[in-house]
């Protein structure tokens, strides 16, 4: 039986952070897209994408023998309102592989049916949005922007009910991890301090192993996540990308772009551009993305504070709050620096020095103003 070489640390190390679950069987699986280059990068067996069982595999009817499918638990702020339990409502993590570059990567389904976290949803996905996610994810990857990627899309042979009936599909997603700000919020909101500590240690081991032994490792984790997000959001801005749903459950601690929904690239510069039909107030508009990222990081910092200081030690709490606040306050400058580096590249400004920052920023802003008039 086919094996992917899974090594599932999330299942082993974080009991209580997921529910074991199986994908729903589908009537007529058919492979629509297979990313052979990504499969090679992951070190997957060639027959996974080419064999007669490939459609059944990527539709969820026949899993690799070493898969341990789980629905991950997380909470999140959605459009500013907190939901203490969200979780994978239509996704399943199948397992983790070590790719040919030695990196640990998640392989997960999206649209594979209801889970314990579905909250009334059908757990399904439609062909159109899943193929759109392939295109946008591969475009982001080609642009050098950290992103999840699609390994495969399989049609299911069934209809999913939205405003109209649409053909169903399952997307197989590859990510550095599916750890989110909302994952930490899930346990912090429940006061599960030991689980929160285990989650932080797991995140460090997964994404920042050099920080594990640091005496202030939780503050260092906050800094690392803030740095990755500053770089990512700057890259979005420099290609005119609008994510559309920057909820805390959609902010990946890996610094990858995740959960492509009502996202788009602007065809003409408009800082107020919004592509989500439900974002009536423009919360996640193009120009608001840096501020929303900072806000999300502040929510992440709140989850780490109990790990940074004992609740009975008032001076330690004050110090931890001050240190975390400093990281959040430094975020705009981090992002501005990353943004300016990209703008210089686009404008052909070479050999810049720190003394040129103000003039170069003014030039870039003038250019954007011209684009908007």
Question: For 73, which DSSP code?
Answer: P
Contacts of 267 (CB under 8 A, 6+ apart): none
Q: How far apart are CA 27 and CA 157, in angstroms?
A: 6
Phi, psi (rounded to 5 degrees) for 203: -65, -40
CA torsion, ordered 175, 20, 7, 169, to nearest 10 deg: -40
Contact 184/196 with Cβ under 8 angstroms? yes
Q: How many CB atoms lie within 10 A of CB 106?
A: 22
Residue 108 φ then ψ, to 5°:
-140, 155
Rounded distance, CA 27 to CA 58, Å?
A: 13
Catalytic residue among 106, 208, 249, 360: 249
Q: Is 356 designated active site?
A: no
d(CA 77, CA 260): 17
> What residues are labeled active site?
249
């Amino acid at each position: 039986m086919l094996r992917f070489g899974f090594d599932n640390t999330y299942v082993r190390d974080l009991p209580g952070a997921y529910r074991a679950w199986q994908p729903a069987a589908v009537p007529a699986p058919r492979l629509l897209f297979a990313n052979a280059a990504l499969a090679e990068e992951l070190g997957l067996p060639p027959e996974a994408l080419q064999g007669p069982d490939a459609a059944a595999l990527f539709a969820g009817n026949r899993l690799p023998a070493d898969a341990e499918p789980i629905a991950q638990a997380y909470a999140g702020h959605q459009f500013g309102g907190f939901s203490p339990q969200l979780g994978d409502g239509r996704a399943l993590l199948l397992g983790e592989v070590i790719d040919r570059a030695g990196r640990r990567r998640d392989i997960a389904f999206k649209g594979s049916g209801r889970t314990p976290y579905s909250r009334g949803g059908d757990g399904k996905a439609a062909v159109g949005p899943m193929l759109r996610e392939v295109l946008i994810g591969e475009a982001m990857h080609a642009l050098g922007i950290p992103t999840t990627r699609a390994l495969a899309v399989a049609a299911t042979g069934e209809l999913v009910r939205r405003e109209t009936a649409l053909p169903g599909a399952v997307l197989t997603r590859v990510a550095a991890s599916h750890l989110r700000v909302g994952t930490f919020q899930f346990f912090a909101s429940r006061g599960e301090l030991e689980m929160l500590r285990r989650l932080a240690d797991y995140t460090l081991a997964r994404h920042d192993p050099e920080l594990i032994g640091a005496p202030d490792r939780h503050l260092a984790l906050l800094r690392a996540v803030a740095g990755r997000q500053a770089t990512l959001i700057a890259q979005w801005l420099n290609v005119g990308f609008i994510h559309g749903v920057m909820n805390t459950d959609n902010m990946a601690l890996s610094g990858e772009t995740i959960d492509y929904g009502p996202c788009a690239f602007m065809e003409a510069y408009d800082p107020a551009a919004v592509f989500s039909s439900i974002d009536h107030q423009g919360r996640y508009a193009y120009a608001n993305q840096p501020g929303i990222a900072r806000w999300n990081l502040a929510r992440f910092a709140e989850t780490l504070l109990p790990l940074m200081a004992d609740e009975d030690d008032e001076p330690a709490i004050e110090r931890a709050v001050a240190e975390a606040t400093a990281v959040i306050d430094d975020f705009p400058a981090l992002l501005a620096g990353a943004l300016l580096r990209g703008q210089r590249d686009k404008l052909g400004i070479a050999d810049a020095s720190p003394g040129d920052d103000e003039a170069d920023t003014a030039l870039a802003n003038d250019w954007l103003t011209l684009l908007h008039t």
